[in-house]
Structure 1
Amino acid sequence: MLSWLPARVVALRAKVFEKVNGDNAITFPNEVIGPDRFQELYSHPAANGRSKGAGLSDLFWYWLSPGPEVHQEHLEAGPRYDDVARATRTFLSGSTEELSAAATRCTAKVLDEVLTGRVTEVRLRDLMMPVWAEYFYEMVFGEPCPRYARDLIVDHADDVVSALKCTGLRHPARRARLTRYLRVRLADVRHPLPRTLSETEQVHYLQGTYFNTAVVQMSEAMAHLLLALAQHPEVARRIDDDRYCAHVLDETFRLYPLFGIAHRITTADIALDDETSFPAGSVLCFSYPAYHATGYANPDVFDPGRWESTAARHEHHIPFGVAANRPCPAWRLAPLAMRTSAREVLRRVTLHSSVSHTRSLPSRGPCLLVREGPVPRRRLAFLRVRDRWEDVWRSVVQLVLGTAMVLHAHHLRPAGRYFDTHDTQGCPVRH
């Protein structure tokens, strides 16, 4: 059934995106900088440029609009980044009990709405997006999330991630509805917003940090975790063991890292040794999947047991980045919230899925939630057949839409045009 086509299309898509980087982009690990020196280069003080000077930035800014210029992951180093990062840490702080209880509460609320029969078919990413929309709304505003606001957040986050995965085009008007809502609510947030940002930039900061990145990444992470549990019931049965659950999360993050490529632009020459150097302006692309696949026996196998004899900090395992170069601010919150959310799901249902599980997960994770009784084998068989067929036509859609968005982003040059008129701290420049 044209099973060869998706792999061919993925390879072709990779070549299209390689062209975006230009000739000065280098992907690691490679023959020169292997996995043993991957983190050394990633942590180098001069590997700290984020957006200015990379062709790939135009594409990411295009996908993440509005407000990519104040997105924490894309701000250049300096006082503005420090101010934004400080505000984010404040919003994401809280006791273990508070963070866990909120995840349980928000998960239970959504499940109460979704579970209407003995067997419920869902796409796991779609199931989890309302959960994290509720969760981060509470974190930002300190009150329960109204359904109207939740729908705005979910529509926005789904539009962003669909564009990122090239399964759909971006819809600026859909995103603008959330922008207008947040502008009205700006004075209601729980903590002070970054003072170095204008009012419009503060709105975009809220939208991009909490209702784009946070909702999308947590929904993706939970989709991977729940799909892995659905396909490994022996693992799901042990999820209440805190130590084992930590191993499950480590293995999920290892095999299905949320970041594909993290790119950095060198702001000065980097000389690692007498034979290995990179001039200023080089685009360094750090491949998380490639790095996470090195140093392990049977790296393509989901095996939480591998962590019983080692610790993640000793292995090729950086799901939240490296401490010296912009680690994810949710490195503490995410495992806590995911653990309690998964347990709330498994308290109510058993999970069953027969679909393929890939890192990019463009299928959004089809799965059956069974409240009681036998597993519907025929429906599982249908899921498998439908998933194979969808994989064929979806790969073609991704190629076509991805190419169209690459060309559109190249034409618009959102990052390039911004830095034509602003310095790295967002101040207008005169020519």
Structure 2
Amino acid sequence: MKPVRLLPWVAVAAALTAPRWLPQRVVALRGKVFELVNGDDAITLPNERFGPDRFREVYSHPAAGGRSEGAGLSDLFWYWLSPGPEVHQEHLEAGPRYDDVARTTQRFLAGSSDALSATAARCAAKVLDELVPGELSVPRLRDLMMPIWAEFNYELVFGEPCPRRARELIVGNAADVVNALKCTDLRHPRRRARLTRYLRSRVDAGDVVHELPGALSTSEQVHYLQGTFFNTSVVQLSEGMAHLLLVLAQHPHVQRRLADEPGDERYFAHVLDETMRVFPLFGIAHRITTDDIRVDERTTLPRGSVLCFSYPDYHATGHQDPESFDPSRWERLSAKDAAHIPFGVASNRPCPAWRLSPLAMRAVTREVLARFRLESSVRHTRSLPSRGPCVLVRRGTARDTRALLRFLRVRDRWEDVERSVRQLVLGTWMVLDARRQRLAGRHFERLRQQEPPPGCPAHR
């Protein structure tokens, strides 16, 4: 057969096998695109030279605390997280403003374990009973969880039940942010601005339950609320719950034990630790060195270096068969002694919700398992761009889901092909647009221009 005649068959074979090879190739190509954003000064840890012990040591170093100034990645993250990325707690540089914001966040997150758990359970019950009324449904777990955490965070901020309009605004904002972060869609500033206007009206009316950071202007206070509670908190809790519930859907024995023994807090902790180990919410956390860091007698990380801390690589170290999901491994391990930092490290901007999140997630899990049996056949990856399609079967209902699960598996594989190409195209476009706008770079240039020269009275 002539080579020309082979070409159509090669094309057909490539198309039919695309779900097996194309997504991985596209992910690798996207990785190269983002490496270019990092620039030549980026150092990824752990690496061949510096293992998990050095990872934690460098991550915890006082000079590894820079967050936005001087990193090419900052322009991209500010672009994704706008409006108001300059006052987002995760992106504020260390100093009085950061300290004021961090103290305020802790006031919102304070409360007894029982009260926080009860609030989460009540929000979950309300949303689940409203959105999943039938005997069988096939939601995407992240989408199902977002209204729950929208209501939960609304109650933390305003101290009252969340009205439908506010929930829709919060979910629309959070979904737009996370879809842009995962490059499955472009960002929509007008959609986010609708929530900004709503929050401004509530702040002006004095409806917030705690005093907002005094170091911020009113507009900055609004952006602080939007970025911290109705962006990061809603997104991360929804992502975490999607991973947890998808794990339960694909490990029936773990699901049965949690459903049969809802009071076993220790086992739930093991399941959550293992979920966050295998599927950490962060892929890379970047920091900028504010001074030289001496790693050993041969290596010093110079000031201004961009340090990229890889959570998946770190979490995989020191474990037998690290890719496998096995909660029983935590019967022999201590989370504080293992290579395991689901909420970051205490000395370098840890997640402010490190205490609240497990409590609230356990309460929501109990509400879900009290109502449904979960099943899923989709591919489970750390980034979860599919948003976690899952079959929910009402407890006490006998339904044969085998055909539905086969359909979900096939649909997910082909969606992955289209989605991965879309991520490459949209991600590349947003990288270029973020570099053009230079939100972080221009912000710090303006600050430097406003600084009085040395010797000025303002410096004394």
TM-score between the two structures when normalised by the length of structure 2: 0.92
User: What SS does structure 1 have at the residue aligned with 2:29?
Assistant: helix
In 2, Cα distance between the equivalents of 1:298 and 1:61? 37
In 2, Cα distance between the equivalents of 1:430 and 1:199? 25
Residue 105 of structure 2 is aligned to residue 88 of structure 1: yes
Conservation of the 8 A alpha-carbon contact between 1:421 and 1:430: no
- Decide which of 82, 94, 110 is 1:65's aligned counterpart: 82
- Decide which of 368, 371, 383 is 1:348's aligned counterpart: 371
Aligned to 1:202: 221
In 1, Cα distance between the equivalents of 2:329 and 2:48? 27
Instruction: Give the drift of 1:430.
Output: 6.1
Aligned to 2:437: 412
In 1, Cα distance between the equivalents of 2:402 and 2:133? 20
Aligned to 2:302: 279
Aligned to 1:48: 65
Aligned to 1:27: 44
User: What SS does structure 1 have at the residue aligned with 2:358?
Assistant: helix
1:310-349 alignment to 2 at 5 Å?
310-349=333-372
Q: Which string of whole-angstrom CA distances, capped at 9 and with x for unpartnered residues, describes residues 341-396 of structure 1? A: 00100000100100010000000000011011123111111000000000011000
Q: Considering only CA atoms, is the larger Rg found in Structure 1 or Structure 2?
A: 2
User: What SS does structure 2 have at the residue aligned with 1:185?
Assistant: helix
- Decide which of 155, 167, 184 is 1:138's aligned counterpart: 155
Instruction: Give the drift of 1:132.
Output: 0.2
Instruction: Give the drift of 1:276.
Output: 1.6
User: What SS does structure 2 have at the residue aligned with 1:399?
Assistant: helix
Cα 1:269–1:118 change in 2 (3 A) is same
Aligned to 1:184: 201
Aligned to 1:265: 288
Q: How many residues align structurally? A: 428
Aligned to 1:17: 34
Aligned to 1:421: 446
Letter in 2 for 1:383: L
Conservation of the 8 A alpha-carbon contact between 1:238 and 1:245: no
Q: Which string of whole-angstrom CA distances, capped at 9 and with x for unpartnered residues, describes residues 83-118 of structure 1? A: 000000110111010110011100000111122221
In 1, Cα distance between the equivalents of 2:303 and 2:182? 31
Letter in 2 for 1:282: S
Letter in 1 for 2:238: S
Q: Which string of whole-angstrom CA distances, capped at 9 and with x for unpartnered residues, describes residues 189-231 of structure 1? A: 0001111000000000000000000000000000000000000
- Decide which of 227, 236, 249 is 1:217's aligned counterpart: 236
Q: Which string of whole-angstrom CA distances, capped at 9 and with x for unpartnered residues, describes residues 263-299 of structure 1? A: 1101111112211211100000000011001110110
In 2, Cα distance between the equivalents of 1:428 and 1:370? 60
In 1, Cα distance between the equivalents of 2:200 and 2:166? 13
Spell out structure 1 runs of 4+ moving beyond 2 A. Answer: 427-431
User: What SS does structure 1 have at the residue aligned with 2:343?
Assistant: coil
Aligned to 1:376: 401
Instruction: Give the drift of 1:232.
Output: 0.5
In structure 2, runs of 5+ residues without a counterpart are 1-16, 454-460
User: What SS does structure 2 have at the residue aligned with 1:312?
Assistant: coil
User: What SS does structure 1 have at the residue aligned with 2:307?
Assistant: strand
In 1, Cα distance between the equivalents of 2:446 and 2:339? 40
Instruction: Give the drift of 1:429.
Output: 3.4
In 2, Cα distance between the equivalents of 1:242 and 1:281? 43
- Decide which of 109, 118, 130 is 1:113's aligned counterpart: 130
Q: Which string of whole-angstrom CA distances, capped at 9 and with x for unpartnered residues, describes residues 299-356 of structure 1? A: 0001000001111111000000000101000000000000110010000010010001
Residue 425 of structure 2 is aligned to residue 400 of structure 1: yes
Letter in 2 for 1:414: L
Aligned to 1:160: 177
Residue 327 of structure 2 is aligned to residue 304 of structure 1: yes
- Decide which of 68, 75, 93 is 1:76's aligned counterpart: 93
- Decide which of 227, 247, 259 is 1:228's aligned counterpart: 247
User: What SS does structure 2 have at the residue aligned with 1:364?
Assistant: coil
Conservation of the 8 A alpha-carbon contact between 1:262 and 1:287: yes
Instruction: Give the drift of 1:428.
Output: 3.9
Identity %: 71
Conservation of the 8 A alpha-carbon contact between 1:270 and 1:279: yes
Instruction: Give the drift of 1:237.
Output: 1.5
- Decide which of 279, 297, 312 is 1:289's aligned counterpart: 312
Residue 390 of structure 2 is aligned to residue 367 of structure 1: yes
